[in-house]
Amino acid sequence: MRWWSVLLPLTVASPLTTSPHIRRAKPVYWLLAGDSTTAPDGGWGDGFLATTVAPGSSGHNYGHSGATTASFRAGGDWGNVIKDVTTYKDKYDVYVTIQFGHNDQKPASGVNISQYGTNLLTFAKEVKSAGATPILLTPLTRRNFNGPKVTQNLAVERNVTISLAESNKLRWVDVNIASENYVNAIGKDAASRYNWETGDWTHLNEWGGVVFARIVSDLLVEKYADIDKVTTRNETLSALIKSGKPA
Q: Which residues contact 202 (CB under 8 A, 6 or more apart)?
A: 36, 37, 102, 142, 143, 196
Positive or negative, the Cα torsion across 141, 142, 143, 145?
negative
234 binds ligand NAG (CB under 6 A): yes
Q: Kindly state the smallest distance separating residue 239's Cβ from ligand NAG, in Å.
A: 9
Which residue, among 139, 138, 143, 135, has the nearest Cα to 208 in the 3D structure? 143
In the bound state with ligand NAG, the residue whose beta carbon lies nearer, of 115 and 192, is: 115
Residue range at the interface with ligand NAG (CB under 6 A); choices 25-33, 137-145, 190-198, 234-242: 234-242
195 binds ligand NAG (CB under 6 A): no
Q: Note whether 158 and 177 are within 8 A (CB).
A: yes
122 binds ligand NAG (CB under 6 A): no
Q: Note whether 80 and 121 are within 8 A (CB).
A: no
Q: Which residues contact 25 (CB under 8 A, 6 or more apart)?
A: 93, 226, 229, 230
Binders in 156-175 for ligand NAG, by CB under 6 A: 156, 159
Residue range at the interface with ligand NAG (CB under 6 A); choices 10-18, 60-68, 168-176, 230-238: 230-238
In the bound state with ligand NAG, the residue whose beta carbon lies nearer, of 190 and 240, is: 240
Q: Packing angle between helix 113-130 and helix 155-167, nearest 10 degrees?
A: 40
Which residue, among 184, 185, 181, 175, has the nearest Cα to 215 in the 3D structure? 175
Q: Which residues contact 124 (CB under 8 A, 6 or more apart)?
A: 98, 134, 136, 165, 168, 170
Contact map string, positions 140 to 159, toward ligand NAG, x by CB under 6 A: ---------------xx--x
Total residues contacting ligand NAG by CB under 6 A comes to 13
Residue range at the interface with ligand NAG (CB under 6 A); choices 3-11, 106-114, 120-128, 138-146: 106-114
236 binds ligand NAG (CB under 6 A): yes
d(CA 209, CA 188): 17
In the bound state with ligand NAG, the residue whose beta carbon lies nearer, of 26 and 233, is: 233
Q: Kindly state the smallest distance separating residue 36's Cβ from ligand NAG, in Å.
A: 23
Q: Kindly state the smallest distance separating residue 247's Cβ from ligand NAG, in Å.
A: 4
Binders in 20-59 for ligand NAG, by CB under 6 A: 51
Please list the residues that pair with 67 across neighbouring strands. none
In the bound state with ligand NAG, the residue whose beta carbon lies nearer, of 64 and 214, is: 214
Backbone φ and ψ of 78, nearest 5°: -60, -40
Q: Which residues contact 145 (CB under 8 A, 6 or more apart)?
A: 151, 188, 191, 201
Q: Kindly state the smallest distance separating residue 21's Cβ from ligand NAG, in Å.
A: 35
Q: Which residues bind ligand NAG (CB under 6 A)?
A: 51, 112-115, 155-156, 159, 234, 236-237, 240, 247
